[in-house]
Amino acid sequence: MIYNFLRLILYIPLSIIIIFSGKKRKFIIKRLFQNFNNLKKGKDYIWIHCSSVGEINLSDSLIKKILLERKENILISMFTDTGYKIANKKYENEDRIDICYFPIDDYFMIKKILSKINIKLLIIIETEIWPNLIKLSSKRAKVILVNGRISDRSYRKYLKLKSITKALLTGEIDKFYMQTEIDAKRIKEIGATESKVFVVGNLKFDIEIEDYSMEEKLELKNKIKAGNRKILVAGSTRTGEDEILLEVFKNLKNYVLVLVPRHLERIPKLEKLLLDNNFSFEKLSEIKDEQGEKDIIIVDEMGILRKFYSISDVAFVGGTLVNIGGHSLLEPLFFRKTPIFGKYLQNVKDISKEILKRNIGFKVENSKDILKSIEVIENHTVENKEIEDFFNENRNVALKILQEIDKIIK
């Protein structure tokens, strides 16, 4: 009641924002004024709640197994616009999958969704703790948290709110399937019942990566006019990392740099940075056949990073040189590329430790470290067997979770 009372008060400034801010107005209207006419009224559903692109990608193997092994429809709710677009594109031909924007935990919108469908299970991906979503769904179905993780920052916040979160975690969520022992320990410390907590591993290892043909790879190389140059792909970069990468690029010979920013709205600032430093560059969507070679390519399209990793000679993973916590270190490894990453690894802590232990990746702190790592990569090929063993020892998480779902939904 207190939570929803505070939300009601919050709607007053939100109403003002809707009037005066076009961008925020679109964001709010998309989420709070949906009709959900795409839902199949009265049909059985498994509701899978994701946050953004990362969660929808890592859920893919689980979603496909549910489609194959079970009869329920699937509702996927997404918080971000990019996640919503990727989910729609990924499952546009799946009749049993419906997609909606997550309605920012609005009590009445959640009730509206639940009045249309016969929910059999709510699956929360990672640690998206939304009180109305969880409480209302738990009255009609089982609720499980999958691929659970709690970062250092989130852990500190949850401890301060333990008196509030404990009741929700104890009474409303039936099972917690955590990535690591540390995550399991933390979820118990902030309120989860010990008997409900299980360690099953990370769904990211089950991601099915498209196997691009030689023709597709060659076509992409030709599009960016790589020629005989080597390709340095900087994936999911954040503000503060571009300057370091440009310093690296200045000291490389016969390379083309492919910058893939995590958020496309950063591109105008990125373009200004490149102009100020006298680099020749082009956005991927604007490359024309008659143009000559450019020093740098800015990827201004979503969902294409993996394909660029597949053609890279060197792969850098962003969100690691600045205090973000890191993005997927596994994607370059899927294509047998040795990832280079910074020291901020709180989101990928266990994976990064295992990568470094097996010597199939490089941890760096500055441009000099990156250059040294590139030199090693140019003169040494990582054994594919070591990477194969790394994946094989951690796979089949989706299968374990599906087996648990079969037990929960009789």
CATH of the domain at 350: 3.40.50.2000
Instruction: Report the CATH number at residue 49.
Output: 3.40.50.11720
- Same domain? For 357 and 222 the reply is yes
* Residue 10 burial (C-beta neighbours within 10 Å; 0-12, 13-18, 19+): exposed
Residue 48 lies in a domain: yes
Range of the domain at 381: 214-392
Helices 162-171, 131-138: crossing angle, 10 deg rounding: 30
| Averaged pLDDT, 320-349 | 94
For 153, 221, 303, the CA distances from 262, given in Å and listed in that order, are 21, 21, 11
- Same domain? For 224 and 368 the reply is yes
For 66, 143, 204, 392, 399, the CA distances from 61, given in Å and listed in that order, are 9, 20, 9, 15, 9
pLDDT in tens, 59-70: 999 999 999 999
pLDDT in tens, 357-400: 999 999 999 999 999 999 999 987 666 788 888 998 898 999 99
For residue 246, count other CB atoms closer than 10 A to its CB: 19
Residue 16 lies in a domain: no
Residue 125 lies in a domain: yes
- Same domain? For 59 and 191 the reply is yes
- Same domain? For 174 and 230 the reply is no
Residue 86 lies in a domain: yes
The pLDDT of residue 329 is above 70: yes
Residue 207 lies in a domain: no
- Same domain? For 272 and 153 the reply is no
- Same domain? For 131 and 243 the reply is no
Average model confidence (pLDDT) for the chain? 92
Beta strands in 92-229 (DSSP E): 97-101, 118-125, 142-148, 175-178, 197-199
Residue 32 lies in a domain: no
- Same domain? For 404 and 354 the reply is no
Per-residue pLDDT band for 105 (boundaries 50, 70, 90) equals very high
| Averaged pLDDT, 206-229 | 92
Quick one: CA dihedral 382, 303, 221, 375, positive or negative? negative
The number of folded domains in the chain is: 2
**Residue that the structure tokens 């360690």 belong to:** 199
- Same domain? For 86 and 182 the reply is yes
Q: What pLDDT is attached to residue 126?
A: 92
For residue 355, count other CB atoms closer than 10 A to its CB: 23
The pLDDT of residue 210 is above 80: no
- Same domain? For 400 and 387 the reply is no
The pLDDT of residue 20 is above 80: no
- Same domain? For 328 and 386 the reply is yes
- Same domain? For 175 and 233 the reply is no
**Could you tell me which residue, 16 or 182, shows the higher pLDDT?**
182
Cβ-Cβ contacts under 8 Å for 136 (sequence gap 6 or more)? 107, 110, 111, 114
The pLDDT of residue 224 is above 90: yes
Token digits of residue 386: 């070591």
- Same domain? For 49 and 168 the reply is yes
Residue 29 lies in a domain: no
Residue 343 lies in a domain: yes
Of the chain, the percentage scoring pLDDT greater than 70 comes to 99
Amino acid at residue number 227: G
Task: From 174, 218, 212, select the one nearest 193 (Cα to Cα).
Answer: 174
